[in-house]
């Protein structure tokens, strides 16, 4: 099901991953018969490198929000299966300070304190952990567990003022369940079936209203990762 395009007066900022290539030269002498084989191997390797480089560039563009609507594909809840932890506690205890310092070095548009204040609003949540198994999603809020069953409700493509886009993959609660939101919306910078390595999650009772939320985006990483590993994952993106 293809989602509708929505125009928002907000700017989505993303950072780029720097990709480098390295080559090695061989000084060994080869015979003429070996030369053809070596040339073919080099051409094959060169083609593969070009293909990988092109694939990396395409992935970077998609991550930054530049893609055609026709590229977007349906995804199932299994893409986010696993145990996930909120990154908000790591902001509060200072573990993510190195991430904000890194952002200052990259862009110099805000101070470390300003970045921290911005992400304090973005990451803030009372949900410390989420477990996704099959169609079931369990929220852990202040030590209490709340589980509900969800089904796909399609996706929506959002277009931002800056010209880039984002995709919200939406799931709807099958039947009313105490402590469980009616809708959950995933955003993880991917636009096709793919195992997520982290995600931003929006949840609430109003599907349309959630699409307008661009200020608070609780973010979750695998529970087995420690805070410093998460910080370095963030800096790699």
Task: Quick: pLDDT tens for 180-222.
Answer: 999 999 999 999 999 999 999 999 999 999 999 999 999 999 9
Q: 186 vs 50, which has greater pLDDT?
A: 186
pLDDT at site 39: 34
Which range of 108-112, 122-126, 176-180 scores highest in mean pLDDT? It is 122-126
Banded pLDDT at 16 (limits 50, 70, 90)? very low
φ, ψ (nearest 5 deg) of residue 152: -60, 140
Per-residue pLDDT tens over the stretch 167-176: 999 999 999 9
Q: What is the pLDDT of residue 139?
A: 98
pTM exceeds 0.95 for this model: no
More confidently predicted of 24 and 144:
144
Higher pLDDT, 190 or 10: 190
pLDDT of residue 56: 83
Assess whether pLDDT exceeds 80 at residue 128. Answer: yes
Q: Report the percent of the chain where pLDDT is more than 90.
A: 70
3-state secondary structure the chain: CCCCEEEECCCCCCCCCCCCCCCCCCCCCCCHHHHHHHHHHHHHHHHHHHHHHHHHHHHHHHHCCCCCHHHCCCCCHHHHCEEEEECHHHHHCCCCHHHHHHHHHHHCCCCHHHHHHHHHHHHCCCEEEEEEECCEEEEEECCEEEEEEEEEEEEEEEEECCCCEEEEEEEEECCCCCCCCCEEEEECCCCCCCCCCCEEEEEECCHHHHHCCCCCCCEEEECCCCHHHHHHHHHCC
Are the CB atoms for 190 and 62 separated by under 8 Å? yes
Query: pLDDT value at position 21?
Result: 33
pLDDT band at 112 (very low <50, low <70, confident <90, very high): very high
Is 80 exceeded by the pLDDT of residue 160?
Answer: yes
Residue whose entry in the numeric block shows the structure tokens 């209490």: 144
pLDDT of 10 higher than 90: no
């Amino acid at each position: 099901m293809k989602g509708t395009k929505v125009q928002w007066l907000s700017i989505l900022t993303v950072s780029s991953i720097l990709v480098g290539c390295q080559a090695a030269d061989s000084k060994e002498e080869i015979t003429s018969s070996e030369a053809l084989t070596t040339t073919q191997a080099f051409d094959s390797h060169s083609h593969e490198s070009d293909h990988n480089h092109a694939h990396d560039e395409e992935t970077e563009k998609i991550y930054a929000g530049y893609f055609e609507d026709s590229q977007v594909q349906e995804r199932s809840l299994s893409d986010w299966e696993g145990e996930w932890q909120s990154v908000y506690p790591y902001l509060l205890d200072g573990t993510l300070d190195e991430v904000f310092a890194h952002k200052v070095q990259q862009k110099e548009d805000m101070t470390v304190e300003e970045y921290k204040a911005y992400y304090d609003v973005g990451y803030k949540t009372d949900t410390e952990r989420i477990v996704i198994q099959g169609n079931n999603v369990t929220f852990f809020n202040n030590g209490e567990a709340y589980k509900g069953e969800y089904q796909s409700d399609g996706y929506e493509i959002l277009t931002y003022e800056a010209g880039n886009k984002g995709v919200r993959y939406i799931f709807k609660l099958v039947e009313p369940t105490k402590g469980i939101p009616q809708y959950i919306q995933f955003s993880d910078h991917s636009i096709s079936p793919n195992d997520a390595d982290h995600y931003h999650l929006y949840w609430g009772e109003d599907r349309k209203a959630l699409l307008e939320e661009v200020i608070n985006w609780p973010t979750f990483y695998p529970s087995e990762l420690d805070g410093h590993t998460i910080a370095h994952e963030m800096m790699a993106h």
